[in-house]
Amino acid sequence: MVKKITILALEPFLSKPLEKMHLAHISRAINEPHPTVRQWLNQFEKEGIIRKEHKGKLTLHYLNLESPLALDYIVTAEKLNTIKKCEKFPVLAEIVSFMQQNLTENSKALIFGSAALSFASANDIDVLIIGKDRADKIKSYIQRLGKDPHIVNVKSLSKVSKTLKIEIIKKHLLVKGSEDFVRWMLWQQ
């Protein structure tokens, strides 16, 4: 149970994975008190997931992408983030479930843009599908639920433009193929 809760401390890094962050920023982002977040970050530092850098009196924390466990922790944090959003927005949960069930085994998918941040206020849903799946079924399902779908469908992650990749990294919810997406976002710059 403790591990599940401490994973929250990694959440701010999901949209800014290469950034160095101060404790106050992380604490505000996850709405937890400084002492609690400091404990979690210290634990992650012991495990080699987070590193610290001192600039004068300022301590900055950043992901240790060289850690063999970094991928597992980040993927877990990504999945928890998706679960939290789905619990908050039942229609989003329906879309995520439909995508997971209807995309082929080798496909990957994520939701990005405004719907990844605040599903209720989003006018449309931006979806990235990697693979040979046809997006028609997903598109019509999203339309039936009252949202305007915008689907980007490419054969491989290498076909995603750098501009789109930057936008995706900032605001995303991983639906299928989490490990591959995390590798692509963090290690294939």
Can you tell me the distance from the alpha carbon of 148 to that of 150, in angstroms, rounded to the nearest whole number? Answer: 7
SS3 state of residue 153: strand
Q: What are phi and psi for residue 17, nearest 5 degrees?
A: -65, -20
Does the predicted model carry a pTM greater than 0.85? yes
- Whether 19 has a pLDDT exceeding 90, the answer reads yes
Structure confidence by residue, pLDDT tens digits, 108-159 = 999 999 999 888 889 899 999 999 877 889 999 999 988 899 999 999 999 9
Question: What pLDDT shows up at residue 3?
Answer: 53
Question: What pLDDT shows up at residue 8?
Answer: 85
CATH 1.10.10.10 maps onto the chain at 2-63
Strand (E) positions, 118-177?
124-130, 148-154, 172-176
Name which CATH class applies to 89-187: alpha beta
CATH 3.30.460.10 maps onto the chain at 89-187
Question: What pLDDT shows up at residue 138?
Answer: 93
Name which CATH class applies to 2-63: mainly alpha
Structure confidence by residue, pLDDT tens digits, 31-55 = 999 999 999 999 999 999 999 999 9
